Amino acid sequence: MATLLENVIRKILQEDFVRLLGGALVDGDGNPIDLGIGSGSGMVPFYAYASDQNGTGFTLANSTELEYVAVKVAAPDAVLTVADFAGLWFHRKGLPGTSIPGADGLDGKNGGFSVVYSSDTAATDPGQGIVKFNNANPALATAMYISALSPSGTDLTGLISTIPSGAKFVLEIDSPVSGALAVFQFTSVPTDNTDWFTVSITNLSMSSSSFTQDDTCVFQIMGFSNIAIDPVTGRLMVDGVDKSGTTEVATFSVLPDPTTVPLNVYYVAAQDCFVYANGSEWWPVNRRAIVYRSGNPTTVIAPASLASAIADNGSGKVRVTAAAHGLTSGQNNGKIYISGGGTWTAGLYRFTYVSASTYDLQDVTYGAGLGVPTVARGNATDEIVVQTIHIPPLTTQSSIELLIASLYNDSTETKRTIIDWEGVRFYNRNDNTSGNDASFHGPTIINLNSNTLRKSTLGLAFVGGKSTSGSVPIEGTFNTAVGTTMILKALLGNSTTPIGTESITFNDIRAVWES
């Protein structure tokens, strides 16, 4: 289309273009203009018009009423129909209109919350709704004093107290026309003095106009991100501190004492996240990190009976003998859990159905020294470990959110998802109503300003009318000042009639760490 339009424009400039006739470009002598494209011999463009992209109301006559246009190159004597323009229709950008004068609008209001500027520089309570600085020239100020109340009496404590170091804000005259304006950055978290706050700041920009006593201003927060690239030096800055020089470590457990490396950002490979030293603690960069993210969906299936022997399947892989295991022909899209036995490594293993009493583990090379594996069964008793997630040492202001999307097969047999964090089951839910049902689990574990007390909030969305298990605790007492482990488990089957056809598919698993 771009090439066609370029050629049309070029020809219009080169030839004596006068008008459109029957959809073709015509010169001053009434002859169609040859664009020299297509077959290269006597080809001209035809313009068609319609009321929709299906060609309704098709015409080659110029129309300002029909909103869809199509262009096709053909011989000058071609008799074109709507079928020739199929797939070529596009909607015009707009049609000519008429300007209708209206009443003047009201002046807009600047974003942010109102404050009143004071020229006083003392480190004292500024008074309700007032902001002031420790220098008569705000561009030179290093501290700001701001009331916890707005001029109208709204309590802003919840907002101001949570503004992190590194956040930027604008102070400007509350007017639709230009006036005094200054841009600052917090260099520390606000200090709550009860009814007013002290904040260490640095000025980033200042207008030529100055603030005067009792100016009505707007305080607008520009961003909470605590990481940025310094525009002058190009260095990585976190909370206003140069932290360039990222170092990679394997796991959280091998991070050094944060007090010894104040100017480094570390990349933790096992959790694929960046952390930085904040005093005596490690915090995620930008105060949010995903410490675990699952790959492809994982379908967990439990056989009904334990393995009794293994052998070479004839292709060098392991064939498991398990009488009446309950797995079915064609059911080869899942994994079964082996907890140990012989020299086996605990984990999920893909299987292939062979017969009612055998199945193959196609990813495991056979060796007599492997021994017989211990296989979790579909009996509503054996707990299948789906994923182990390593959680970093948490601060008193940290929280962990675990997000799981799962799909259950159609039956009334037990299908249970368990979230076990250091022995505390924050989530323990049965999904045993019939129907192929999907559910989204969103348990959030929040600390209570302590390294030993955690509170769980449970957010769920699901299809199929399922309800939450009543066995979910709201509190747990364990120490998260050190690295901990969260285990996602599943139970399948029925305690009295073990079967091997139950399954849960975990489509997405994420663990998010916030501080």
Both 431 and 461 in a single domain? Answer: yes
Both 74 and 117 in a single domain? Answer: no
Tell me, what's the pLDDT at 244?
63
Both 442 and 510 in a single domain? Answer: yes
Tell me if 131 sits within 8 A of 116, measured CB to CB: yes
CA 57, 58, 59: angle at the middle one, nearest 5?
115
Query: Distance of alpha carbon 9 from its chain centroid, rounded?
Result: 45
Question: Strand, helix or coil at 434?
Answer: coil
Token pair in block for residue 443: 């348990």
Parent domain of 256: 229-293
Tell me if 510 sits within 8 A of 405, measured CB to CB: no
Which stretches of the chain drop beneath a pLDDT of 70?
1-30, 32-42, 93-110, 178, 223-245, 262-263, 428-444, 448, 455-475
Compute the distance between CA of residue 70 and CA of residue 487 in angstroms, rounded to an integer.
Answer: 60
- The candidate with the shortest Cα–Cα distance to 114, out of 128, 129, 100, 126, is 129
326 within some domain: yes
Both 453 and 365 in a single domain? Answer: no
Both 447 and 488 in a single domain? Answer: yes
Structural Rg of the chain based on CA atoms:
35
Task: Choose one of 321, 345, 375: the last residue of a domain.
Answer: 375
102: exposed, middle or buried (Cβ count in 10 Å: 0-12, 13-18, 19+): exposed
Compute the distance between CA of residue 390 and CA of residue 367 in angstroms, rounded to an integer.
Answer: 32
Compute the distance between CA of residue 274 and CA of residue 246 in angstroms, rounded to an integer.
Answer: 9
Both 355 and 393 in a single domain? Answer: no
Compute the distance between CA of residue 186 and CA of residue 166 in angstroms, rounded to an integer.
Answer: 5
212 within some domain: yes
Compute the distance between CA of residue 169 and CA of residue 209 in angstroms, rounded to an integer.
Answer: 18
100 within some domain: no
Task: Choose one of 242, 269, 293: the last residue of a domain.
Answer: 293
Both 509 and 388 in a single domain? Answer: yes
Both 143 and 167 in a single domain? Answer: yes
Task: Choose one of 293, 317, 346: the last residue of a domain.
Answer: 293
323 within some domain: yes
Both 268 and 217 in a single domain? Answer: no
Tell me, what's the pLDDT at 228?
61
349 within some domain: yes
Q: Is this model's pTM higher than 0.75 or not?
A: no
Tell me, what's the pLDDT at 431?
67
261 within some domain: yes
Both 44 and 6 in a single domain? Answer: yes
101 within some domain: no
Token pair in block for residue 473: 């605790």
Total count of domains within the chain: 5
105 within some domain: no
Query: How many C-alpha atoms does 494 have within 13 Å on its Cβ side?
Result: 10
Tell me, what's the pLDDT at 144?
95
CA 176, 182, 186, 187: dihedral to nearest 10 degrees?
170
Both 349 and 444 in a single domain? Answer: no
| Amino acid, res. 296 | N
Both 339 and 440 in a single domain? Answer: no
Compute the distance between CA of residue 174 and CA of residue 171 in angstroms, rounded to an integer.
Answer: 9
